[in-house]
Amino acid sequence: MKAAKSIGALFVMITLLCALLGGTLLTGCKSNTANSETATDSSSTYQQTEDNSEPAEDDTEPSTAPQLQQFDGPAIVVSSATAGAGDTVDLTLTMHNNPGIIALTLSGQYDESAMTLTSVTKGDALSEMTFTVPKNLKSGFKLPWDAEWVEEGTNGTMVTLTFQLSDTVAAGEYVVDVQFIDSIDNDMIPVDFQVVDGKLTIE
């Protein structure tokens, strides 16, 4: 009888021990499985994020605005044009980066066998200065501006030169050579100008 009770007690202990060990192992298994699934899910989420990421599209349209010429200092630019024999052509002189001058003198040279300067028209730039229209329009003409004081220098079209082309002018490229002579600012300090010549193409 005592032996039966001892065997029964031993059986109960073994059962409890097995249950305890089995639960621990099962819990550990579940924990490891859960951690593995979490890591897998994280890896999948990361991979999905990487796969779904796309570079942002640039909706900015390319600019079609004309690009203005850039200069480091004061500059005067002569325009270009294309015409035929016997035509009337306008060339403009444009001021850039005016530092506030009170005097400026230019001269112009051109091929008198190909064209004749017929008029000089003052533009909007240098409006605070007095411009003296040259009486002599032959090659070597002068373009003078002067003032006693200016508040702020203005840029833009200085003058328009109108040329009458010869009826017998040969096709080719001709240059109206505008030369800088001198200039000063409000403090009577000389100012140097870069001059960019244009070209007149005769077809």
- For every one of its 203 residues, what pLDDT tens digit does the chain have, with 9 covering 90 and above? 444 445 555 555 665 555 555 544 334 434 444 444 444 444 444 444 445 555 555 554 444 333 446 788 999 999 999 999 999 999 999 999 999 999 999 999 999 999 999 999 999 999 999 999 999 999 999 999 999 999 888 999 999 999 999 999 999 999 999 999 999 999 999 999 999 999 999 99
- Listed as own residue / partner, the contacts of 187-192 with beta carbons closer than 8 Å and 24 or more positions apart are 191/74, 191/99, 191/101, 192/73, 192/74
What integer pLDDT is reported at residue 151 of this predicted model?
A: 87
Q: Who contacts 156 (Cβ-Cβ below 8 Å, separation ≥6)?
A: 94, 95, 123, 124, 125
Residue 16, pLDDT score: 55
In this prediction, residue 9 carries a pLDDT of 55
Tell me 113's DSSP state. T
Does this model's pTM top 0.95?
no
